[in-house]
Amino acid sequence: MKAVILIPLAALAACASPHPLSGLRDQVTVDAGGYSFAINYSQDRAEVTRLTRVWRPDYADVQAAAVAAVIKGTGCAPDLGSVSGDVALLRMKIDCTEGAELKLPPPRDGPKTSCVGNLIPFDLSTGVFDLAIDCD
Protein backbone atom coordinates (compact mmCIF):
# COMPACT_ATOMS: atom_id res chain seq x y z
CA MET A 1 0.00 0.00 0.00
CA LYS A 2 2.85 2.39 0.82
CA ALA A 3 4.40 1.80 -2.61
CA VAL A 4 1.13 2.79 -4.29
CA ILE A 5 1.28 6.18 -2.53
CA LEU A 6 5.04 6.77 -2.78
CA ILE A 7 5.44 6.10 -6.52
CA PRO A 8 3.11 8.93 -7.67
CA LEU A 9 4.63 11.29 -5.09
CA ALA A 10 8.14 10.51 -6.36
CA ALA A 11 7.03 11.15 -9.94
CA LEU A 12 5.52 14.52 -8.98
CA ALA A 13 8.67 15.54 -7.11
CA ALA A 14 10.68 15.11 -10.32
CA CYS A 15 8.49 17.43 -12.44
CA ALA A 16 10.79 20.46 -12.25
CA SER A 17 14.02 18.45 -12.24
CA PRO A 18 16.32 18.17 -15.25
CA HIS A 19 17.21 14.82 -16.78
CA PRO A 20 20.22 13.39 -14.88
CA LEU A 21 22.28 13.25 -18.10
CA SER A 22 21.36 16.77 -19.27
CA GLY A 23 24.32 18.43 -17.53
CA LEU A 24 22.08 21.13 -16.02
CA ARG A 25 23.43 21.08 -12.48
CA ASP A 26 22.34 24.45 -11.09
CA GLN A 27 18.75 25.30 -10.17
CA VAL A 28 17.02 28.48 -9.02
CA THR A 29 13.37 29.47 -8.57
CA VAL A 30 12.43 32.95 -9.80
CA ASP A 31 9.27 35.06 -10.07
CA ALA A 32 9.00 37.23 -13.19
CA GLY A 33 6.17 38.64 -15.26
CA GLY A 34 3.49 37.29 -12.93
CA TYR A 35 4.77 33.70 -13.17
CA SER A 36 6.99 31.52 -11.00
CA PHE A 37 9.69 29.49 -12.78
CA ALA A 38 12.16 26.74 -11.89
CA ILE A 39 15.32 27.30 -13.91
CA ASN A 40 17.81 24.47 -14.43
CA TYR A 41 20.96 25.75 -16.11
CA SER A 42 24.63 25.33 -16.95
CA GLN A 43 27.12 27.76 -18.48
CA ASP A 44 25.61 27.54 -21.97
CA ARG A 45 21.93 26.53 -21.74
CA ALA A 46 18.85 26.69 -19.57
CA GLU A 47 15.55 24.86 -19.14
CA VAL A 48 12.76 26.98 -17.70
CA THR A 49 9.72 25.24 -16.17
CA ARG A 50 6.64 27.35 -15.42
CA LEU A 51 5.36 26.50 -11.93
CA THR A 52 2.38 28.85 -11.80
CA ARG A 53 -0.95 27.31 -12.76
CA VAL A 54 -2.69 29.45 -15.36
CA TRP A 55 -5.58 28.50 -17.63
CA ARG A 56 -4.41 28.75 -21.26
CA PRO A 57 -1.53 31.22 -20.81
CA ASP A 58 -0.36 33.26 -23.79
CA TYR A 59 2.88 31.82 -25.20
CA ALA A 60 4.41 35.24 -25.93
CA ASP A 61 3.78 36.37 -22.33
CA VAL A 62 5.27 33.18 -20.89
CA GLN A 63 8.27 33.39 -23.23
CA ALA A 64 9.01 37.02 -22.29
CA ALA A 65 8.62 36.24 -18.58
CA ALA A 66 10.88 33.16 -18.91
CA VAL A 67 13.62 35.21 -20.58
CA ALA A 68 13.35 37.83 -17.82
CA ALA A 69 13.47 35.04 -15.21
CA VAL A 70 16.66 33.60 -16.74
CA ILE A 71 18.33 37.01 -16.68
CA LYS A 72 17.19 37.64 -13.10
CA GLY A 73 17.93 34.16 -11.75
CA THR A 74 21.19 33.28 -13.50
CA GLY A 75 22.72 36.63 -14.40
CA CYS A 76 23.38 35.18 -17.86
CA ALA A 77 22.46 36.58 -21.27
CA PRO A 78 19.89 34.51 -23.21
CA ASP A 79 20.13 34.01 -26.97
CA LEU A 80 16.60 35.07 -27.97
CA GLY A 81 16.89 33.26 -31.30
CA SER A 82 17.34 29.93 -29.53
CA VAL A 83 14.22 30.00 -27.32
CA SER A 84 12.04 26.95 -27.98
CA GLY A 85 9.37 24.98 -26.19
CA ASP A 86 5.82 25.56 -25.03
CA VAL A 87 3.98 27.34 -22.21
CA ALA A 88 5.14 24.76 -19.65
CA LEU A 89 8.81 24.22 -20.55
CA LEU A 90 11.14 26.48 -22.53
CA ARG A 91 14.75 25.83 -23.49
CA MET A 92 17.32 28.43 -24.53
CA LYS A 93 21.03 28.96 -25.02
CA ILE A 94 22.63 31.32 -22.52
CA ASP A 95 26.00 33.02 -22.21
CA CYS A 96 27.34 33.23 -18.65
CA THR A 97 30.70 34.78 -19.48
CA GLU A 98 31.62 38.13 -17.96
CA GLY A 99 30.17 41.03 -19.93
CA ALA A 100 27.87 38.86 -22.07
CA GLU A 101 25.08 40.74 -23.85
CA LEU A 102 21.55 39.75 -24.77
CA LYS A 103 21.55 38.16 -28.23
CA LEU A 104 18.72 39.15 -30.56
CA PRO A 105 17.40 36.66 -33.14
CA PRO A 106 18.66 37.05 -36.71
CA PRO A 107 16.51 39.22 -38.97
CA ARG A 108 13.93 37.48 -41.14
CA ASP A 109 13.54 37.96 -44.87
CA GLY A 110 11.13 40.76 -45.61
CA PRO A 111 11.10 44.47 -46.23
CA LYS A 112 14.58 45.90 -45.85
CA THR A 113 14.80 48.55 -43.18
CA SER A 114 17.56 49.98 -41.08
CA CYS A 115 16.97 49.41 -37.37
CA VAL A 116 18.97 50.06 -34.24
CA GLY A 117 18.20 48.19 -31.02
CA ASN A 118 18.81 49.63 -27.57
CA LEU A 119 18.47 47.38 -24.51
CA ILE A 120 17.31 49.41 -21.53
CA PRO A 121 18.87 48.05 -18.31
CA PHE A 122 17.14 45.18 -16.56
CA ASP A 123 15.33 46.14 -13.35
CA LEU A 124 15.93 43.33 -10.81
CA SER A 125 13.22 44.60 -8.46
CA THR A 126 10.44 44.17 -11.04
CA GLY A 127 11.94 41.53 -13.34
CA VAL A 128 11.34 43.78 -16.35
CA PHE A 129 13.61 44.86 -19.17
CA ASP A 130 12.79 47.00 -22.18
CA LEU A 131 14.05 46.82 -25.72
CA ALA A 132 13.69 49.97 -27.82
CA ILE A 133 14.00 49.56 -31.59
CA ASP A 134 14.26 52.57 -33.88
CA CYS A 135 13.78 51.96 -37.61
CA ASP A 136 14.15 54.24 -40.63
pLDDT at residue 37, rounded to an integer: 96
What per-residue confidence (pLDDT) applies to 51?
A: 96
Contacts of 83 (CB under 8 A, 6+ apart): 63, 66, 67, 90, 91, 92
pLDDT at 67: 93
85/69 Cα distance (integer angstroms): 15
**Predicted pLDDT of residue 100:** 79
**Predicted TM-score (pTM) of this structure:** 0.66
DSSP E strand stretches across 51-127: 77-78, 84-85, 89-95, 115-123
Question: Consecutive sets of 10 residues in the chain, 136 residues long: mean pLDDT of each?
Answer: 57 56 80 94 93 92 93 91 94 89 68 63 62 67
